[in-house]
Amino acid sequence: MLQPTNRLTLLGAMRPPAGFRIESAMAVTFTLDLQALLAAPAAFALNGPDGMVAEGEQLVPVELLHALRSHASKITVFNQAGYTAVPPSRRVFAFLEGAVVPVDAPRGGIVHPKLWVLRYEACGDESNDQARDQRLRVLVASRNLTFDPSWDAVLRLDEAPGASGARLEPVGELFEGLLEAAVHDVAEAHRQRVQSLAAALQTATFALPAGVDDLRVHVFGLEGRHSSPTGSPFPDNAERSLIISPFVSDGFFSSVHPHPVTELVSLEAWLDSLKPTALANVGTTYSFDDGSPIELAAPEDQTSPLDPARPLAGLHAKVFAFESGDRAHLFVGSANATRSAFHTSIEILVELMGPIATLGIDRLCGGTDDEPGLRNWFISYQRPADAPIPLPDTSTLDRARVAIGRLQIEGVVEASGTDWAVTYRTSGPLPSVDNTVIHCWPLSSAGNRRQVTTGSPLDERFETSLEAMSGFLAFELEQDDGAVTEFVVPVPLRGVPEHRERFLLRSLIGNAERFFRYLLALLDEDPGQLDLLEAVERASTDAWDDEAGVAALPVLEKLLRTMRRDPAKLAGLHPLVSDLADDDVLPVGFAELWKTIFSVAMAGADPSVNGAALEGAPSE
């Protein structure tokens, strides 16, 4: 069942079913890599990576750009405050500024679920006012929204209207609880999205996985109705049990589950950290080795072990399996075998129930004659004779990182000469940490890194261009002994010019060829089924005849078809086309062709569409 060759990527699990497209989504992750979040809209809109051809250091594939513009505003992503990694400096992250909501666990632990709720809607004629068919999908995983090379588990549950199956109301209640756990005020758009999806989960029925006849959701660490009772959800009289958990603690075996465990699989370093008495009730203990080379950190690398950018490798799945008689209970989700997971942190586990024949431990970990099973990578654990070498203590840095992540930071945008400036301010003081220097910089301008004063509120002004303006502020904390941690904080910007997005998009598109690839992606009737490689090749070879100065048939046909069927698409694109025409980016003749088609489209369009187009158009 958990065969190593049976692999599913988290992004692959997000892709809409055939004939559907994303309508809205909400997610929660512990650590967050903005580059991975950048890929999520592509998973919603694109068929695969074939068309993701690199265009240079500062350019992004045009189809990804279209996916970002179309879908980033449909996503709400919660993550633990202070645990967003610093990515490479890129302007394209501006499209994600409104998507991230930092949260903190009310009981003092961490926000640890890895969970997605996605709502898809049927594709069809935009002019049809009839309600579209909608489908929910829930992904319960052990994987953070990162590109870590780790072994994880993901459970995919798809809505099956009219069928008997599982109800997932606690998932919606978890997200409603996260709204209350946010460290700052939450934008109304996020609140409405969470409330709408949570309401849909109250009535939706989900198909049970094969071999499962019942399902139960356990949520921990939130207050009131949003959470299950503190303590263990596991059976205490199982005849056989298996716990797979990369991280373990003495408190789990003494207070959460002080009962016999047949088999335990964990990371060797964490097994070494346990007291011998913690394993007294464990029959057989294993470490995990998938044969991958171990990448040792360089001796000079003193990055905090809890730094959000430090990659996790090897075992990262969390699985708790129990057998009694001919029945099996299988728990998957985010919780490790630690006391904090069940007492102070926000976690989720889904309990699957069914016969041992389909959910039992041997079925779970066993292989076949043709394929190895997960058990092939279990290595008998031997406790070392010498005490393990302790990891460097970076707890002071880590606490300061979370404290800064909780601060309310605001960016005030002002005109500055011919360009702009952003002043980043906090209402509360930056934490003062002994022997520690703090630097900050706007994410899109790594060269503007500067030291800031601790113990007083942040008040730093950065000169910038409109395209390089950033709603993410990066921080670095470094101690005298060399220990260091970096992270990013989302910052709401106040006073942003309305035309910022158009300028940003224009700078990212860059030239006529890329514009036509973007145009084809925008005009495609079913972006979820777009063949990227075909679109890129068609756009770069057929879309425009530079010598003739006229549009070739693929572009012209799509423009005329869109003019008749969906003039709102042309209205949305009009401001960008006008800007590109002003900059002489468009080939000769296209601006005139566009004006003709756009005028005809607006003449026959709904007045609200025409008005929206005029509001977005630059003044002549």
- Give the pLDDT score at 542: 37
Read off the DSSP letter of residue 252: I
What's the whole-number mean pLDDT along residues 413-441?
A: 94
CB 87 within 8 A of CB 19: no
Averaged confidence pLDDT in the chain: 83
CB 618 within 8 A of CB 575: yes
pLDDT tens-digit map of 68-79: 777 889 999 999
pLDDT tens-digit map of 495-508: 999 889 888 887 88
Pair 23, 78 in one domain: yes
Question: Which residues span the domain enclosing 443?
Answer: 406-495
Pair 338, 424 in one domain: no
Exposure string over 72-104, b if 16+ CB within 10 A, otherwise e: bebbbbbbbbbbbbbbebbbbbbbbbbbbbbbb
CB 177 within 8 A of CB 222: yes
> Tokens 């263990």 — which residue?
232
Give the global pTM.
Answer: 0.84
Q: How confident is the model at residue 603 (pLDDT cuts 50, 70, 90)?
A: confident
Q: How far apart are CA 43 and CA 54, in angstroms?
A: 17
Residue 2: inside a domain: no
Pair 551, 562 in one domain: yes
Task: Decide if pLDDT at 512 tops 80.
Answer: no
Indicate the residue among 445, 466, 495 that finishes a domain: 495
Q: How confident is the model at residue 230 (pLDDT cuts 50, 70, 90)?
A: low
Pair 194, 329 in one domain: no
- Give the pLDDT score at 207: 95
Pair 208, 87 in one domain: yes
Residue 56: inside a domain: yes
Pair 204, 237 in one domain: no
Pair 119, 249 in one domain: no
Flag the least confident range among 8-17, 167-176, 521-530, 604-613.
Answer: 604-613
Q: How far apart are CA 559 and CA 462, in angstroms?
A: 42
Pair 191, 241 in one domain: no
Pair 470, 525 in one domain: no
Pair 239, 295 in one domain: yes
Q: How confident is the model at residue 559 (pLDDT cuts 50, 70, 90)?
A: confident
What's the whole-number mean pLDDT along residues 103-108?
A: 94
Q: Within a 10 A sphere around the Cβ of 412, how many other Cβ atoms?
A: 13
- Give the pLDDT score at 47: 42
Q: How confident is the model at residue 606 (pLDDT cuts 50, 70, 90)?
A: low
Q: How confident is the model at residue 92 (pLDDT cuts 50, 70, 90)?
A: confident
* 371: CATH: 3.30.870
CA neighbor of 14 nearest in space, from 5, 26, 2 = 26
Task: Decide if pLDDT at 438 tops 80.
Answer: yes
Residue 537: inside a domain: yes
Pair 239, 255 in one domain: yes
Pair 507, 610 in one domain: yes
DSSP H or E stretch at residue 261? strand 261-266
Domain count, the chain: 4
CB 275 within 8 A of CB 253: no
What's the whole-number mean pLDDT along residues 413-426?
A: 95
- Give the pLDDT score at 216: 96
* 426: CATH: 2.60.40
CB 538 within 8 A of CB 523: no
Between 595 and 192, whose confidence is greater? 192
- Give the pLDDT score at 520: 75
Residue 388: inside a domain: no
Q: How confident is the model at residue 46 (pLDDT cuts 50, 70, 90)?
A: low
Between 183 and 6, whose confidence is greater? 183
What's the whole-number mean pLDDT along residues 404-419?
A: 94
Q: How far apart are CA 96 and CA 101, in angstroms?
A: 11
